[in-house]
Amino acid sequence: MKIAIASGKGGTGKTTLATALAQAATEPIQLLDCDVEEPNAHIFMKPQLTEREAVTIAIPVLDTDRCTNCGKCGELCQFNAIVTIADQTMIFSDLCHSCGGCILVCPEKALQEQPKTIGYIDTGHSQSLNGDTITFVKGTLNIGEAMAPPVIKQVKKMVDPNQLTILDCPPGTSCPMITAITGSDFVLLVTEPTPFGLHDLKLAVETLRLMDIPFAVVVNRAGCGDNRVDDYCSDEQIPLLLQIKDDRRVATAYSRAEGLLTALPEMVTELRALLGRIDNCVAAAQRSLS
């Protein structure tokens, strides 16, 4: 089962929840950090990273001897990554989305694909409170690269369908977040009880409804704001599965790279119960499909 932890608004506690769930799990699991622009889960899990592989995308290179500057590649390219002006064809690899169209359309076979490194994947291990193995995977986008989704997709290739997998997702509701949550069995949306939290939660809810993935809400820093998130969830019949109280001890522990369960060890019971409730939600969603 794949559980994605997402949010809409940044800084609501996705990584706090994802790492605490991983530590609370009572079976060997995987934790995938899909927030490749700013990956943070390793700061709390302190995994032993043993392997690193590059993430590459395929970009075209031009054989100028073969190129007749017919311009067909540039006509097909939707991203202005190949342009023919007069008798010169130029490639702007930063704009390339690696769709492969130019390679296919070139009548002279003057274009070939070459890998370009845009990030890397680290894998390693950590341990849960019970001593079970947590397989840890982290994706990192290289500085100056614009496109996070190929790195996120590569992280997700490490998913083992036989294990419980927790995905720590990027904030927002656009391409990186959608790439990260696609294919998940369940999404936990972490929010905070503030106007910003509520506004961005609504956007995330609409996204998940469009994608038809079952989801529930977790309220972090409960008590710091107002009741509008609770009211919204009850009006929309969205399960609110967990509240993490607003507690300066959590913030202080977090600042020192200590997780939720270091600050509030008693929460382990609730987190294990949460994993059980998600199991039930997913089973119910699957029953309603069949």
Partner 1 sequence: MKEIVIISGKGGTGKTSITAAFAALSTQAVFADCDVDAADMHLLLAPLSQQSYPFISGNIARIDAQNCTGCDTCNSLCRFDAVRPGSPYTIIPSSCEGCGVCVHFCPEKTIEFPPQRCGQWYQSETRFGSMVHAALDIGAENSGKLVSLVRQEARNLAEKHQRELILIDGPPGIGCPVIAATTGANAVLVITEPTCSGKHDLLRVLELTNHFDIPAYICVNKWDINPDMTEEIKTAAQEKGATFVGTIPYDEQITTAQIEGKTIVEWGDTIAANAIKKIWNSFCEQLDLPQ
Within the chain, strands assigned E span 2-6, 29-33, 48-62, 82-85, 88-91, 111-127, 133-141, 164-168, 186-191, 215-222, 240-245
Site string for partner 1, 231-250 (x = CB under 8 A): -----------------x--
> Containing H/E element for 19?
helix 14-24
Is residue 211 near partner 1 by the rule CB under 8 A?
A: yes
* Distant-in-sequence, close-in-space partners of 192: CB < 8 Å, separation ≥ 6: 9, 12, 13, 219, 220, 221, 224, 225, 229
User: Binding residue for partner 1 (CB under 8 A) from 3, 12, 124, 278?
Assistant: 12
How far apart, in Å, are the Cα atoms of 15 and each of 24, 39, 40, 266?
A: 14, 9, 7, 19
Footprint (CB under 8 A) of partner 1, residues 73-92: 76, 78-79
State the minimum distance, in angstroms, from the CB of residue 127 to partner 1: 20
Please give the structure tokens belonging to residue 202.
Answer: 């609504």
Is residue 157 near partner 1 by the rule CB under 8 A?
A: no
User: Binding residue for partner 1 (CB under 8 A) from 155, 178, 222, 271?
Assistant: 178
Residue 13: CB atoms within 10 A of its CB come to: 21
Of 84-92, 128-136, 166-174, 235-243: span binding partner 1 (CB under 8 A): 166-174
Name the 3-class secondary structure at 69: coil
Of 60-68, 142-150, 156-164, 265-273: span binding partner 1 (CB under 8 A): 142-150
Measured at the alpha carbon of residue 121, what is the angle toward residues 118 and 122, in degrees to the nearest 5?
Answer: 145
Footprint (CB under 8 A) of partner 1, residues 87-126: 97-101, 104-105
Site string for partner 1, 33-52 (x = CB under 8 A): ----xx-x--x---------
Binding site for partner 1 (CB under 8 A): 7-12, 15, 37-38, 40, 43, 76, 78-79, 97-101, 104-105, 141, 143-148, 170-178, 182, 194-196, 199-200, 203, 206-207, 210-211, 224-226, 248, 251-252, 254-257
